Amino acid sequence: MKVSVLGAGLVGGPMAMDLARDNEFDVLVADIDKDALERTKKRAPNITTIESDLSDANAVKGVVAECDIVVSAVPGFMGFETLKTIVSAGKPVVDIAFFGEDPFELDGLAKSNGVVAVVDCGVAPGMSNVLVSHADTMLDSTISALIYVGGLPLVRTWPYEYKAGFSPVDVIEEYVRPARFVENGELVTRPALSDPELVDFPGLGSLEAFNTDGLRSLATTIDAPNLKEKTLRYPGHIEKMAVLRETGFFDETPIVVNGVEVKPVDFTSKLLFPKWKLEPNEVDITVMRIVVEGESSGSQKRYVYELFDKADRVTGVHSMARTTGYTATVTVRLLSAGLYSKPGITPPEFIGRDPACVEFLLSGLKDRGVEFTTPE
């Protein structure tokens, strides 16, 4: 099976390498960044690389023309249009781009083209959706689902005590985009970074949790009166990001500085990204806790799933790339095995309704060292 991976960055590169690790797939990876392609090729010589501007729909069409399935790992601001191009080309796709548009706008197009399009297929959204949905199917009625998740450097370094395990542009978007969640049966919108709380994790200590717009499709696909996702950071992060946001450093509207127009967010990005860059030898961690509560046969039930993952020092793959990327590559294998084949836009919770699919995903991730603790 021929697979085209769009993007050779922090997550795209490791995904291409994972797919190329056996003889099941013939892997092509495309990116505009020649250095990223060379790094990927060096670690997986059997991969074909192509330098391509994936912001150009015609370039995307060319890259996917001969493949059997596509993996999209482009930045969020390119995600929707890239997905539309892939679906229009009639190619099945597993997508980890975290874009603001509603993917269900492409549902009719996907169905008419007979395309399976799995969106938001990372760790969260992604496996979080799968496990919430899986728990929901085991309950007669679901009362609440709460997701805590975050990617962090193992070593805290001043001033930010944070490193970006995926596109830093998408990280800033988390601090700007209003958070949507379900509370007492109503869809509620709150500012990002709101409702702070401290959450304890054994062996790690207290982390700071706050609202971000990570609930995504779960807000409409899971029938429960209370649904929320919160992002985890080391304590103090909220205040730093709130100061930058409220001062205007994340604004998109240009301002004039010495006669030159500049977007504040572009200026901020140039300063922040070098400080947020995960170096090859740095160890990052991914932490997640999912709590689903409801009723079954007249009794109260509570399902808790937890994940604590570290960067792999042997392969050099960072934890966020492992947990996000391997969810996507195992999903590619799931589609290849014919375990899921329903045309249309598929958020991960649709896959989570099938116990065989859930077992396939958990087993595939465990084989790669990404292991969830699951309810007895």
314 pLDDT band (50/70/90 cuts)? confident
Q: β-pairing, 141-153 with 299-310? A: unpaired
Q: Out of 33-42, 204-213, 294-303, 313-322, which region has the weakest mean confidence (pLDDT)?
A: 313-322
Buried b (16+ CB within 10 A) or exposed e, 327-363: bbbbbbbbbeeebbeeebbbbbbbbbebeebbebbbe
The predicted structure's pLDDT at residue 94: 98
From residue 227, alpha-carbon distances to 220, 348, 356 in Å are: 10, 16, 25
- Dump pLDDT digits (tens) for 275-285: 998 887 889 99
The torsion of the CA quartet 337, 103, 187, 233, rounded to 10 degrees, works out to: 70
- pLDDT of 376 over the 80 cut: no
Please count the CA atoms within 13 angstroms of the CA of 321 that sit on its side-chain side: 26
- Dump pLDDT digits (tens) for 318-338: 999 999 999 999 999 999 999
CATH of domain 2-123+318-371: 3.40.50.720
Q: What is the mean pLDDT of residues 195-200?
A: 96
| Separation of alpha carbons 147 and 149, rounded Å | 6
Q: Where are the domains of the chain?
A: 2-123+318-371, 127-310
- Dump pLDDT digits (tens) for 222-254: 999 999 999 999 999 999 999 999 999 999 999
The CATH fold assigned to 127-310 is Dihydrodipicolinate Reductase; domain 2 (3.30.360)
Q: β-pairing, 299-310 with 372-373? A: antiparallel
Q: What is the mean pLDDT of residues 362-368?
A: 97
Among 185, 188, 169, CA closest to 79: 169
The predicted structure's pLDDT at residue 170: 79
- pLDDT of 70 over the 90 cut: yes
Helices in the chain by DSSP H: which ranges? 12-19, 34-43, 57-64, 76-88, 107-112, 127-137, 168-176, 218-221, 237-247, 264-276, 319-336, 348-351, 355-367
The predicted structure's pLDDT at residue 278: 84
| Separation of alpha carbons 153 and 275, rounded Å | 12
In sequence order, the β-bridge partners of residue 118 are: 94, 346
- Cα(first)–Cα(last) distance of the chain, in Å? 37
What's the whole-number average pLDDT of the chain?
94
Q: What is the mean pLDDT of residues 346-374?
A: 96
